Structure 1
Amino acid sequence: MSTRSVTHSTFVVERVYDAPPARVFHAFADPEAKARWFSHPDEWVSNEGVMDFRVGGRESISGGPKSGPVHSFSSIYQDIVPNERIVYSYDMHMDDVRISVSLATIEFFPAGAGTRLVMTEQGAFLDGHDDAGSREAGTNLLLDALGAALAAESASA
């Protein structure tokens, strides 16, 4: 019999973007806009994913190195307040092994002409397959990618 464990952790990541809350919210709500920053390392292969951005809607995407394992993200939107808040629960798998289950809250606050984004994640990391430090590092990379996508959008406008 294998040893099972769960580690609970909460982390908060903040960013300030030089874009109004409606534009930053749109980067999460619109599938094409989200695809520009919510991605994987260049050397990975992935599926197209699906996104149904509404309360009760689901989002999923998977991918990984060509040699494996496949990393899968599957979420359900629990609460959406346009331009103010998104709450979703999600689980992550590596191949067929569930590695975590989380609740994420993203809040959008006006900050001058820009937006202060606050993302809080409460996670249950399962059986030593994942941990909060790795997840927080990945979240930071994604939010940096969001910032780059917003900056590129502004530069091309």
Structure 2
Amino acid sequence: MSHETIRHPTVTIEKAYAASPARVFGAWADPEMRRIWGSPSDEIDLRIDAADFSVGGEDVSTCMMGDDAIAIVRGRYHDIVTDRRIVYTEIISSMDAIEGACLVSAEFQSEAQGTRLVLTLQTAALDGADLLEGVQEGWESALLRLGDMMKPS
């Protein structure tokens, strides 16, 4: 596949959670919790192939639909400030080619009722891939599941 076009949108998603920044941040730091909430849809399961939540560390996740692998996401952490922010890049690939890359910035802001998460996605989609809509929809879906996980029990 040749890479003749690149689209570069930036999207910001804000969500409020009735949980402390430490608890919301912890759901990102813990690979098992991330596997549960981080899937881009209810039809896709995440398989965590590598998890190194440290500056310079790499995560590798495979998106599974049943027994079939449909995409691989490789993330590298560039900045982590406990309970405050995470900045990392993702390389998103189908099983055949790189679809694009995304700079992900997550800010965990303390509020009276819990945490306001401000997620900024700066995506480069290659060759008009459907990646742009998929990235935003996938994150919206994942953040809803994160909200369910953060509800008081």
What TM-score do you get using the length of structure 2 for normalisation? 0.90
Aligned AA (1:105): S
1:36 paired with 2:36, answer yes
Q: Following superposition of structure 1 onto structure 2, how do residues 81-100 of structure 1 map, counting pairs within 5 Å?
A: 81-100=81-100
1:46 Cα deviation from its structure 2 partner: 5.2
1:80 paired with 2:80, answer yes
Contact 2:31 / 2:48 at 8 angstroms: preserved in 1? no
Q: Which moved more, 1:37-46 or 1:2-11?
A: 37-46
Q: Deviations over 1:53-74 (max 9, x none)?
A: 0000000111333585621110
Q: 1:44 to 1:137 in 2, by over 3 A?
A: closer
Q: 1:148 to 1:46 in 2, by over 3 A?
A: closer
How many residue pairs were aligned? 153
**Can you give the 5+ residue segments of structure 2 that lack an aligned partner in the other structure?**
none
1:102 Cα deviation from its structure 2 partner: 1.0
Q: Secondary structure at the match of 1:137?
A: helix
Q: Secondary structure at the match of 2:37?
A: coil
Quote the Cα distance in structure 1 between the aligned partners of 2:10 and 2:63. Answer: 25
- Give aligned-pair identity as a percent: 35
What TM-score do you get using the length of structure 1 for normalisation? 0.88
2:117 is matched with 117
4+ runs of 1 displaced by more than 2 Å?
39-49, 63-69, 130-134
Q: 1:67 to 1:50 in 2, by over 3 A?
A: closer
**Can you give the 5+ residue segments of structure 1 that lack an aligned partner in the other structure?**
none
2:57 is matched with 57
Rg (Cα) greater in structure: 1
1:16 is matched with 16
Quote the Cα distance in structure 1 between the aligned partners of 2:3 and 2:82. Answer: 43
